[in-house]
Amino acid sequence: MRTRLRHVIQKEILQIKRDRRIMAMLIVAPLFQLFVFGYAVTLDIKHIPFVVCDHARTAQSRELVGTLDRSEYFDLAGRVDSSARLDEYLTSGRALLALHIPGDFAKRLARGETAQVQLLVDGTDMNSAGVAMAYLSAAVSDYVRRQTGLDSARSAVSHEPRVWYNPDLASVDYMVPGVICMILATVMTAVTALSLVREREVGTLEQLVVTPIRPIELMLGKTLPFSAIGLIDVGLIVLAARYWFGVHVAGSVALLFFSAALFLLTTLGLGLFISTVSRTQQQAMLTAFFVIMPSVLLSGFMFPIENMPPAVQLMTYLIPLRYFVSIVRGIFLQGVGFGILWVQFAALVASGGTVFALSALRFQKRLG
């Protein structure tokens, strides 16, 4: 068995090396995704354009506007004399936020009262609008508090927020670990399915079936090389995250690779399953897209599971990627170990093992 399995693995490695498209998908695509998610896909919002209608026209109101404009988060896009003209900037897209300073702004500050201003926001992009409005509200509140001396000490309970695990709230620290999940879920599934379907298209799969090679040997020989390449991709991402993006692995690197090896059971299993229901490489790609995209959207990689409807939250428990995302971010950002993540590991083994076992049975039955 070892000899036959070794020959199948050698054949697969040679075929991968000769196919430049597969090599590009396995090596170039993961690095490309890393830089896309590291730089382009960001939740950080800076240089927010805002417009001001200052009816107070005092030193205090000018100081407030100047404080906002000097920060890295806001850029003054213009000033208007009438609050009715604020809509022009929001409608045309020249400003995302509009600040209306009432005429009694300075008087309220002088009396030590809370001075109120009106904030208008373009809600077309809900995420950007919410973040921008929170930034501006915090900046205005901080300025008013410094001017009036009104602070949380007057209340019965004071609070001092501290952010753990990602103190700078940087999107790159949140996104880069998720790239490992994305690559193993998308690239490995697609290339495994395409490799097997291509064998069927050119007629070599039937030739392999009539040889003494058993279905289990053929299945392992086709999937083990991709498993090794998947772990190599994980290593490349970890190195790039550390030395290019400055994202450190707070936890155990060995535990990270162990979890990736477990998750490969799911991706390779899905690849096997897709290969059994697809006749052509085009069908395999479309099927892989149909299977992978819902998993990514429901895994918590981009959208919090807690914000989803209850029925959808129950569906996420069936998705192995959900547990792998939690494990990777827990190891990367929080530095937690197996003692904390054992529930996610158990769920990953159960769900991934089930997917791989059912796909392997269908693959062997199809060959038989």
User: Which contacts of 129-135 are long-range, i.e. CB under 8 A and separated by 24 or more positions?
Assistant: 129/96, 131/43, 131/45, 132/45, 132/48, 132/96, 132/97, 133/97, 135/45, 135/48, 135/73, 135/74
Residue 263 has pLDDT above 60, yes or no: yes
pLDDT in tens, 318-352: 888 999 999 998 898 888 889 889 999 999 889 88
Contacts of 173 (CB under 8 A, 6+ apart): 166, 247, 332, 333
Q: What is the pLDDT of residue 159?
A: 38
Cα 287 to its chain centre, rounded Å, is 22
**DSSP per-residue codes, 328-366:** HHIIIII---HHHHHHHHHHHHHHHHHHHHHHHHHHHHH
Q: What is the pLDDT of residue 237?
A: 85
Place of tokens 């077309």: 124
Q: What is the pLDDT of residue 156?
A: 36
Q: What is the pLDDT of residue 164?
A: 59
Question: Which tokens sit at 80?
Answer: 């208007």
Q: What is the pLDDT of residue 127?
A: 66
Q: Mean pLDDT, to the nearest integer, of 29-35?
A: 74
Cα 281 to its chain centre, rounded Å, is 28
Residue 188 has pLDDT above 90, yes or no: no
Question: Which tokens sit at 151?
Answer: 């602070």
Q: What is the pLDDT of residue 259?
A: 93
Residue 60 has pLDDT above 90, yes or no: no
Q: What is the pLDDT of residue 155?
A: 36
pLDDT in tens, 118-158: 888 887 666 677 777 777 777 877 777 776 665 543 433 33
Widest pairwise Cα distance in the chain: 93
Band the pLDDT of 254: cuts 50, 70, 90: very high
Q: Kindly list the distances between the CA atom of residue 149 and the CA atoms of 34, 113, 122, 154, in Å, as whole numbers in the listed order.
A: 46, 9, 32, 10
Q: What is the C-alpha to C-alpha distance for residues 331 and 134, in angstroms, rounded to an integer?
A: 30
Q: What is the C-alpha to C-alpha distance for residues 67 and 61, in angstroms, rounded to an integer?
A: 10
Q: Mean pLDDT, to the nearest integer, of 95-103?
A: 86
Band the pLDDT of 210: cuts 50, 70, 90: low
Q: Which domains does the chain have, with CATH numbers?
A: 2-41+170-367 (no CATH), 48-154 (3.40.1710.10)
Q: What is the pLDDT of residue 157?
A: 37
More confident: 45 or 149: 45
pTM of the model: 0.70
pLDDT in tens, 222-252: 788 888 888 888 888 888 888 888 888 888 9
